[in-house]
Each structure stands twice: as structure tokens, then as C-alpha cells.
A and B are shown apart, each in its own frame.
Chain A
């Protein structure tokens, strides 16, 4: 029998240690946070170490890091389950207490149970979630195609109307910064589409000039997007990445405890 150090270490760190932690939490409440902090430390440090230490047990095909990645996918599944539980709890409470807007919660819960139920039934019965063995669609697919897809598209399409209304009422040149934003916005909006060609369409003599001007406007738009916008975006991304890295270090070292939900967050 092969002894896989990585596998054994993972079992110790993420199965035995949490059990010990839970037991400790029962008997010594002051130590409740210790177990999760140790688990958090190893879950954070193993992927980092695997980048620098090319050992089989750490970063090999069946090493600790790839296994942790796979576990992460499973944990994500549980997160989805938590979301569903949360929706059910909030929805049922709203309906039971007849809070404002409770009929919407009835619709939400009905949609959740009917759609989710049909999907789960398709999976459990082996018929398939979206397609039946004969190639036809399942009721789940029918709901997705004829309710979910058009409804989501409709909600997003409504944005065009609100954006146009907001453009008319709120997009004002109130000061220098707003004016710069306004001019840049108009240039980008005009440069991203063949606007000049559209305006010149009824006047054939000026069409070549409009096409040439449109090319120039397009180049100016690309410059705005690539240079000032690209530089600003890079700054934002680097800043956010540094923030995420410092937060990760705080979690790994046990300084940040807010995620434990024990009220000890800083």
C-alpha cells in the first residue's frame, strides 16, 4: 500500500483537526476560534507554499494543492445550498408575517421549488436535467427557455430606457470634472459606432468626408480607452490586488477573524 504523505496530511489538517477543534469548542469555549484559525492557516499557506516548493506531495498531480482546488469546487456547491436555504428562510418568514411585498416572496418561492424540483427530479430519475433520452427538452428546460431567459433579457433591456432618461436629467456639466467626463463620454459613445456615417447618409456628397472623420473619431476613442482609461484601470486593479493580498495575509495569520462569525473581527 502506498503511503501518500499529502493525502494523510490533508486528512489530519482538514478532518481530524476540525473534529478536535469542535470538541475543544464544546468543553473550552475560550478555545472555540482556535481550530478554525489553524484550518484557515493551512488552507491559505498550502497553495502559496506549493508555488515555491516543487515537491510531489505539495504540487504533484495528486498533491495537496490540486486536492484542495478540487475540494474548493465541492465547497462552492455547499455555498449554493446555503444560498437556497437563506432564500427559503427569508421568503417563508416574509410570507408568514405578511411583510410588505410578501406576494413577491410567494412567486420567488414557487419559482424556486418548481424549477429546482423539476431539475432535481430530472437528475435523480436519470432522465436528464435539460434533455430527455429521446432528445426532447424537459419541463426544466421549458421553464428556462420560456420564463427565465426572456425575463432576464427583459430586465436588462429596460436599462436602455432608464439610461436615456438619466442621460437627459442627470448627466450635467456642473463643474470641470463633470465636464471632462461628459466630453469623454460623448466622444466614446460617438466613436464606438458609425455615427457620422449615419448622420451623413441622406447627404451623399459629404459621405466620404464623414467616413474619414469617423475613422479619426474611432482612433481618438481607442486612445481614450487604451491610454487614460487603461492606466486608471491598471491602478485600480493593482490597488485592489494589494488589498486582497494584505487581507489574505491577515486571514492566514489569524489577525482577521470576522469570517468566523464569532464577533471577533477587526
Chain B
């Protein structure tokens, strides 16, 4: 027994890596379709956007990079789909320097291709990237043109029809920040107090715990927490909008709902590792105590 425990504690970590690889790869190749239950923070985000009227404007800020794209992309794309389905105008910007704009461009191109009737400049606009996130948010509170004089294509904002009505954050119904790091928090601490614009945040799962403080304080109207939050949002979208439901059921693209299968298996594998590791550790400690007592 002691020999087995010793062996287990010193197991070659490549075996662990192999199990992790299988735990992630198999569910992605063979989806299981595990059920997703929704949480209050995701439902309140969904209901808030669902309560907006056609013509309202939503700002989606891409504040994440490629490292967390599998978690964050489905959030951004889900919210864009909801807005476009409801004819809510969308303003896109990117404040994350490491690839935020690239991801914004890719997601926007993907989703707008699903809604061919949309017109750039009337239904949506892409402001591009600007460095100095806190300063940009503060400036947007007064005047969006001050922070983004031109859009991503170099067109002056004054020449873009929808931006004639959307002059500052005061005309934005809700800011949705899809955030990897601290930029999401800055929207809450810098933009929200200045303009009073409601904020929805879509952090990665590891970044989500801190946002519960803001959620409890009423400074957030909702939160999509990690891949689970994105999968919950997809479920809510599919239930409320039949066309989007069909899309999420039939698409071959990666969605958060599919990702949840892999996440479930990998959580199981890690919990198993923790339990086995602790059982082996306790058994080893007991053996050492026994030997010391002799």
C-alpha cells in the first residue's frame, strides 16, 4: 500500500497531461449536450437588454485578448445577435491593447454576416482601438468624438449617421464590457459614476469573483461569468428567439454551450486529481506518523 501511495505521489506528470488532453478533446469532438442552468446575474443581463427598444444604442467594449477568446467571444457574439435581432444599434470599441480590436473585427464580421440587412453606420459602428482605457472612458462620458474622432475605417464620426444621435455615454443605454482584466472594473468605477450608464460585464471565470462585490452593490445590472455565463446566455437567447435557437442548435461553429461539455469533464478530472492527491498525501502522512511512533 505504502509503495502504491509513494508511486502515486510521484506519478510522471505527463500522465496527468494526457488525461487533461483527453478530458478536453473528447467532449469537443463528441459533444454530450449536457444541460445548462441559468443564474440570476446572467438572467438580469439578458432581461435588461431584452427590455431595450429598437433604436436604442448599446456599447460593446472588447476588453479581452485571444487568450480568453473561447470564453469571451461567445458572450460578445451572443449579445450582438440579441441586439441585431431586436434592431438595437451597436457601438463597438476595443480598449484592450493585445488583440482586442482584432477580435472585435472578427466577431463583428461573423455576426453581421448572419444579418445581411444591417447597414454599417446606421445599425452598428466600429470605433476601433484606443489606448489609455480609463482616460478614454472618461472622455466618452463627455463626448465620444473627443476619444474617437474617426471610426476604424478612418471615417470622421460626424459623417456617421447613427453617431449624430449617440454623442456621449449618456445616449448609450448600456455598456457591455467583455473583459479579461481590470478594464471591466474601470468601466464600473470610471464610466458608470460619471454618466450613470448601466454596465454589464462579461469576465473570464477566473476574473469573475471580484465583480460579485459590484453586483451586490447594484453597480452592475448583470454579469456573464466565464464560459458558463456565455452558455447560459446562449440558452436564454435560444429560448426567447426561435431563429437564434435554430442557429445555436444547428451551427457547426464553436459555441459556449459546446464548450461547457469540455469544461464539465475537465472540472471532474481536476476534482478527481485533488481528491486522489489528498488521499495519497494523508495516507503518506499517516504512514510517516506510524513509523515515527515505532
Partner of B228, one of A165, A192, A230, A237: A192
With A80-B131, A168-B276, A198-B265 given, is the CB distance from A163 to B212 under 8 Å? Answer: no
With A155-B67, A233-B213 given, is the CB distance from A160 to B24 under 8 Å? Answer: yes
Decide if A121 is an interface residue (CB 8 Å cutoff).
no
CB distance from A218 to the nearest CB of B (A): 6
Decide if A243 is an interface residue (CB 8 Å cutoff).
no
CB distance from B227 to the nearest CB of A (A): 9
How far is it, in angstroms, between the C-alpha of A6 and the C-alpha of B285 when the chains are bound?
72
Decide if B99 is an interface residue (CB 8 Å cutoff).
yes
**Which residues of chain A are within 8 angstroms of B101 by Cβ–Cβ distance?**
130
Q: Is the CB of A182 within 8 A of B274?
A: yes
Partner of A230, one of B39, B98, B215: B215
Interface residues of B, dominant DSSP? helix
Q: Is the CB of B268 within 8 A of A215?
A: no
Q: Is the CB of B34 within 8 A of A197?
A: yes
Central interface residue in B20, B66, B217, B269, by most chain A CB within 10 Å: B66
How far is it, in angstroms, between the C-alpha of A195 and the C-alpha of B209 when the chains are bound?
21
Q: Is the CB of B17 within 8 A of A229?
A: no
Decide if A259 is an interface residue (CB 8 Å cutoff).
no
Q: Beta-carbon contacts of A148-162 to B below 8 Å, as 1s and 0s?
A: 111011011000110
CB distance from A74 to the nearest CB of B (A): 8
| A window 114-163: CB within 8 A of B | 128, 130-131, 141, 144-145, 148-150, 152-153, 155-156, 160-161, 163
The 9 listed contacts between A and B (C-beta, < 8 Å) are A66-B139, A70-B146, A145-B102, A168-B277, A194-B264, A218-B37, A218-B39, A225-B209, A233-B212
Q: Which 10 residue pairs across A and B have the least CB separation, nearest first?
A: A76-B132, A156-B67, A72-B135, A230-B212, A233-B213, A234-B213, A168-B273, A193-B264, A152-B66, A149-B66
Question: Which of A's residues lie within 8 Å of B, judged by CB?
Answer: 61, 66, 69-70, 72-73, 75-77, 79-80, 128, 130-131, 141, 144-145, 148-150, 152-153, 155-156, 160-161, 163-165, 167-169, 171-173, 182, 185-186, 189-190, 192-195, 197-199, 201, 211, 214-215, 218, 222, 225-226, 229-231, 233-234, 236-237
Question: Which of B's residues lie within 8 Å of A, judged by CB?
Answer: 11, 13, 16-17, 19-21, 24, 32, 34-37, 39-40, 65-70, 97-99, 101-103, 105, 130-132, 134-136, 138-139, 142-143, 146-147, 153-154, 205, 208-210, 212-213, 215-217, 226, 228, 260, 263-271, 273-278, 281-282
